[in-house]
Amino acid sequence: MNKFLLILVITTLGYSQDQEFEPTFYSEIAERVAPKDYYNLKFGTPTKVTVHDTIFIANSEPWIEKNVYSFKNPREMFVKKYRDDELVADEIIQLDSNKRILHYEGNLKYEGGKWYITKVRYKYENNKKIKEKINNSGETYLRYTVEYDSLKNPVLFTNTIVGPDSNKLQSVKYDYKESSFILMDFNYQGKLNDEIKGYIHLDYVISKNEFGDVTKMYWILTDKKEPYIHEIGYEYDQQGNWIKMIKNVIHPDGTKKPYNRTYRKIEYKD
């Protein structure tokens, strides 16, 4: 699988799966340019948001999701998530005033049909995000810290096993003038595991519509000599929130392929 397709797979992960994994350079970039916070509206106060999402991945069956977000209040929601009509997650999520996750508790179904509880809490500081996984006693056993530069791109990842306080690091150095980055991945012994060079473009947005939503963009990590381009179309409700979003990807050879089809049914507070 090439790097671009790997990033597309990462962007298919919703918040259930994201709570299980450590933050990485690629997941942070995907969250920035292709967020999956479909519960977040520009206008109005929702009581319920139902999302039907079909993602097309090369050489695979379509990935079909249904997520139902029911709001107890603007900062707390109950979430049921389905894959191919089967319930796979039952969640309670608390948000801050910026609609970022503060506390997450999910009962998640894994392969084999077993269910497990995952608890996560977040802290946000200036140019820093801290994600902590919590055991049943309320104690932190894993801590992930992401630090950002002034442009809000990630520069340092610290993964800590709490107790022995063993750390592994992932650092990123950018050369914005040359539209490039170097990613260095270190293990728990401090040894360099991998070093990856790639492209990053601050001017990845090509066009937006009258609602301020991106309608065409380069993938932010693409090589513009052989670019992958996203084309995005929308339909809106009377409040001005999108209820249909269609994404296609134009490959370097000019072929256009579907990426995902997303529909939202929004119920508003009277």
The tens digit of pLDDT for each residue in 10-33 reads 444 444 456 767 899 999 998 888
Q: Worst-scoring range by mean pLDDT, 28-32, 123-127, 171-175, 178-182?
A: 28-32
Distance CA 40, CA 244 (A): 14
As a whole-number percent, the residues of the chain with pLDDT over 90 amount to 76
Average pLDDT over residues 117-132: 95
Distance CA 266, CA 70 (A): 10
Q: Assign residue 12 a region: left if phi > 0, alpha if psi is -120 to 50, beta otherwise?
A: alpha
Domain boundaries, the chain: 3-202
The per-residue pLDDT for 52 is 97
The tens digit of pLDDT for each residue in 65-102 reads 999 999 999 999 999 999 988 999 999 999 999 999 99
Alpha-carbon Rg for the chain in angstroms? 19
Above 50 in pLDDT, residue 131? Answer: yes
The per-residue pLDDT for 9 is 46
Band of pLDDT at residue 165, cut at 50, 70 and 90: confident
The per-residue pLDDT for 18 is 64
Contacts of 76 (CB under 8 A, 6+ apart): 92, 93, 94, 95
Distance CA 263, CA 52 (A): 5
Average pLDDT over residues 232-239: 97
